[in-house]
Chains A and B, each alone.
Chain A
Amino acid sequence: MISVLAIGLVLATSLVIGIYGVRAARSTSDFLVASRRVSPNWNALAIAGEYLSAASVLGLSGLLLKNGLGTMWYAVGFCAGYVAVVALVAGPMRRSGAFTVPDFAEYRLGAPRLRKLCGCIVLVIMLLYLVPQFKGAGVVLALVSGTPYWVGVVLAGMVVSGSIAAGGMRSATYVQAFHYMVKLLFIAIPAVYLVAHAGADLRAQALHPEWGTHFAQTTPVEFTVDTTFGLDDPVTVTAPDGGRVDLAAGDHTVSEGTRYVFPAGAAVPHPEGLPDLGGERWSTPLLNSGGYPLFETWSTILAITLGCMGLPHVIMRFHTSPSARIARRVAVGVIALLGLFYLFPVVYGLLGRVLTPQLVLLQGTDTVAVVLPAQAVPGAAGTILTALVAAGAFGAFLSTSSGLLLALAGGLSHDLFQGSVPRLRLAVAVGACVAVLLALPAEKVDINVLVVWAFTVAASTFCPLLVLGIWWRGLTLPGAAAGLTVGAVTATGAVGWSLLLPTPQGWTTVLLAQPAAWTIPLAFATMAAVSWLTRPPDWAEHAVLRLHSP
């Protein structure tokens, strides 16, 4: 209940800031104060606030618990993305005056039809990014209010589109900056408290868990999907009717809806295909889901780092900076703020290994940050900590998905259809509906898998467009169109295939699941090759020059 209140409070505060946050100047001497541009610090806070999504707040600690230490490469990629942005696009993008990637495409290549193509890709990326946000919100809302998952998702959709319609993003900069602080504080305070409260033994255990790890207390486990797990030692569990079930060592398959209560001290069963929580594979700092850890790690880092610069809602925030130099300074500030934030998901992942190992069995690791505090600290303190984390997670959902929805609606109404204002509102509603519908069947897909999918598509389409468009005057319209098409089709198709259809074994699996390492070079190569065959227009030189002259 407290959690629901905390979430409501975050929502109400951000609405108030969003609508009335812009300071009103009452006299003309205040006028200049009002019209002073956003300071780089506020801007950096706002960008970091918009960027830290459910993937960072919930997904990262969940994936850490599930897949092991290699997951921290995600955090590295999320930060390193801004290094790429500072080095390659922030300044020139600001000088072009372009607000979105489709704007930039039109500025650089001067073709309305390319704008439409970019608008379609924006749509794909934004939807892929929105679905995990709604999933995260649905999971958190379901967890704290006890409603079914779908109610949480639908509620989240209504909340975010309602807050945009009410004008909650009018002063987006201040809302997003507020959300960064909410996220940081509401994740950091419980994390620090948990670490302090855990005591030396538990801390040591979290870092060096015994082989397989054990349930710390009597733990009920309800399997919501059919699961296969292995046991090292025989264990006697209690069924809901009070009967005792002896499980022998070896593999077991349980059907959906089964409930077992594991006694304290029992070894945690390890689900098929995942690393043991205390095992060697868990602590190896590489991503390893298909047997090719080095390729998978590199591919993921590439996707996230380069994908960051192609994310439409990230790029458009640099437009706010008054000059290219300040745009770069802002990006550096963002890196510092993100680096600070990513210290905390690790805490939840590591403690979760000891305190909430059953989440791995349940395929619900995305909730670890919300479940953990109550497990670790019983009583009122635990409830309050849970409320804090839930509110922080909801803030993450709210800020990112409002930004994404607005970018999506902008693309829909401005790039694809010559839009007026009612159309923009309609587009927000339509975008939210589609995202909710897609999020409903996504309950068991990890947040970060979907987010990395969005990053992969961005890295294989807009990253080549921006990098070549800014740094190479030879880029031509057919080249850009060909590269965008190839990148979008391969990246979307490969990940989609690996998620939805059965994949062949061996190398192909990892090539399809983490395609960035081949789709990005392919998109770059296509763009460059087709551009070589065609002639750039005469004004291309001038357009590129203006991107670089101070």
Chain B
Amino acid sequence: MRQVHALGVDLRDGLHGRSVPAAAKRLRRLLGAEGVVLADLDGPVAGHGRHLEPEEVDSLLSQVFEYGSNVRTRLRDGTTVCAVPLNVAEEISGALLACGDPVEADVEAAAALVADSLDHAALRRARARIAAADLRTLRAQISPHFVHNALAVIAALVRTDPDRARHLLSDFADYLRYGFSEKGDYATVADELEAVQTYLELQRARFHDRLDITVRMAPEVLPVAIPFLVVQPIVENAIRHGLERKEGRGHISVSGFGEGPLCVIEIEDDGVGMHPDLARSLLAGTGPESRSIGLANVDQRLRAVYGPEYGLVIETALGEGTKVTVRVPRFTRGVVAQ
């Protein structure tokens, strides 16, 4: 059993992984054969035990690939060779050769085992690709709603306060450039803050300065690399769902500090808050359609990058405001701001 499991581990990167020779050795021992060769469609990739002449291997392989079935022949010196195709997802993707009078059924079973492992390897690769693609689509969707509001505010100010309108337009341009940038998956906390700043400037204009802002950042955490657009969606959420519905002045504070090896960023508003169950369902991605993108997206990306224990923490209650905490390690292998 252990041998079979170890074979699966050896083949976890497919036929071109580092442990394929070890897999060949293991197969030879399992089959009790004199020699074993693993081949893909281009030819042998690894072997163990008795050396077979390349011409003989080639001719065997071409027969297997042509007919798609087992081939059994005798070599010039009289030993029997058995070649079995590896069928991965109903397609031939290689072959297993065993020489030295092995039982054909055994070789077939071994080939099925190898094919399963290869199938798993392919699935694993596909899963990683899907995760990466998800990340790319999840990343930073600038809401059309916000674009519309921002342009409407600027349009309203163009006659009455042209200077401010000009400032806002350039803020808006900065914001779009940051949001659309294709530079990479990570940015520094300082870059994120700048994006938040331009965003808040636009929102303040729309709120007719009904919005108070406090920023408190320990300088130590400014160069820390974090996933692109993590802070901004949380701020956007605080404004759209916390402060927009509140009467009178609203206050939002963004603070960041280091806590040992961790970097902590807290976004707190004194808006309408929400029911804790709603917050839970938002993070689980099962909340109402209209508000499901922002927080769940950030939460998923943080978990994907740093691991399950580093998701968002939301503290909220109806009428009590909302506090969202991002807590990430200051250094994680592979996380580098561009």
Contact = CB atoms under 8 A, between A and B. Distances in A.
B212 A26 contact: yes
Given A35-B222, A37-B219, A100 B214 contact: no
B261 A28 contact: no
A50 B172 CA distance: 42
A320 B223 contact: yes
A409 B255 CA distance: 23
B225 interface: yes
Interface stretch (A167-175, A204-212, A347-355): A167-175
Interface string B191-235: 001100100110010000000111111111011010000000000
Interface residues of B, number: 36
B218 A410 contact: no
B243 to A, nearest CB: 15
Q: Is the interface of B mostly helix, strand, loop or mixed?
A: mixed
Given A97-B336, A170-B257, A171-B257, A38 B219 contact: yes
A418 B332 CA distance: 13
Contact of B333 (A24, A30, A35, A107): A107
Contact of B197 (A28, A167, A424): A28
Contacts, number: 116
Interface string A401-443: 0000011011001100010110010000000000000000000
Contacts of A319: 220, 223, 330-331
Most A Cβ at <10 Å: residue of B214, B257, B260, B307 = B260
A99 B216 contact: no
Nearest to B337: A97
Nearest to A409: B260
A42 B222 CA distance: 15
B218 A171 contact: yes
B219 to A, nearest CB: 4
Contacts of A424: 259-262
Interface size class of A (residues with CB under 8 A): 35 or more
B199 to A, nearest CB: 10
Contact of A97 (B204, B225, B259, B261): B225
Contact of A421 (B204, B218, B327): B327
A399 to B, nearest CB: 15
Contact of A37 (B194, B215, B222, B337): B222
B333 A99 contact: no
B329 interface: yes
B331 A103 contact: yes
Nearest to A100: B261
25 contacts: A22-B217, A22-B218, A22-B219, A25-B213, A26-B212, A28-B200, A31-B200, A34-B193, A34-B216, A34-B217, A35-B197, A37-B190, A38-B220, A97-B337, A99-B330, A169-B258, A170-B258, A172-B220, A173-B220, A320-B219, A321-B223, A410-B260, A413-B260, A414-B260, A414-B329
Interface of B: 190, 193-194, 197, 200-201, 204, 212-220, 222-223, 225, 255, 257-262, 307, 309, 327, 329-331, 333, 335-337
Q: Which 6 A-B pairs have the closest CB atoms?
A: A38-B219, A410-B260, A410-B261, A103-B331, A99-B331, A170-B257
